[in-house]
Amino acid sequence: MQYILTEEEYTALKNEGKKAKQALKDTLQDLCTQVCNLKPVKYWNNEKAKIWGCTRTIEGEWYCDECPVMKLCPYEYKKFSK
């Protein structure tokens, strides 16, 4: 079965998909930020696990080196120490 759409209907349908994709990305980003700010991790040979903290919420220079959700995070401007 085929449907004939007007140009406005087609544009609205395309925009709806883009909005849904952006909403999912925003939700994933919020979840990743919360996990990074709340989940303790062991880093830099510390004996006790500490909270790493997200680069998006910490002021100043901070890196994504030991972030617990680094592979899932959709943030485009991740920073890593050299």
* pLDDT tens digit sequence for 10-53: 999 999 999 999 999 999 999 999 999 999 999 888 889 999 99
Which amino acid, one-letter code, is at 34?
Answer: Q
The pLDDT value given to residue 72: 93
* Cut 0.85: pTM above it: no
DSSP states along 2-70: -----HHHHHHHHHHHHHHHHHHHHHHHHHHHHHHHH-EE--TT-SS-EE---TTTS-SS---TT-TTT
CA 64 to chain CA mean position, Å? 12
> Which sequence spans correspond to the domains of the chain?
1-82
